[in-house]
């Protein structure tokens, strides 16, 4: 199980091949620690910091 790279939370679940979802901050992320916001239409937008 992966920790969320955004909030560090442990309440994550696998949603795809190398793709995870964080129940704390409602983002998806992958094993390369790229973080994605989930849009209203279900598409993903990569967040950059």
The per-residue pLDDT for 49 is 82
Is residue 41 assigned to a domain? no
Report the number of distinct structural domains present in the chain. Answer: 1
The per-residue pLDDT for 24 is 96
Is residue 39 assigned to a domain? no
With b for 16 or more beta-carbon neighbours within 10 A and e for fewer, the 12-49 pattern comes to beeeeeeebbbeeeebbbbeeeebbeeeeeeeeeeeee
Question: What are 3-42's pLDDT values in tens digits?
Answer: 999 999 999 999 999 999 999 999 999 999 899 999 999 9
Is residue 17 assigned to a domain? yes
Is residue 49 assigned to a domain? no
Question: pLDDT class for 1, splitting at 50, 70, 90?
Answer: low
Is residue 7 assigned to a domain? yes
For residue 16, what are the domain limits?
1-34
Predicted TM-score (pTM) of the model is: 0.85
């Amino acid at each position: 199980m992966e920790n969320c790279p955004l909030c560090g939370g442990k309440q994550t679940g696998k949603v795809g091949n190398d793709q995870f979802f964080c129940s704390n901050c409602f983002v998806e992320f992958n094993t390369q620690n790229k973080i994605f916001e989930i849009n209203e239409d279900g598409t993903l937008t990569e967040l950059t910091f």
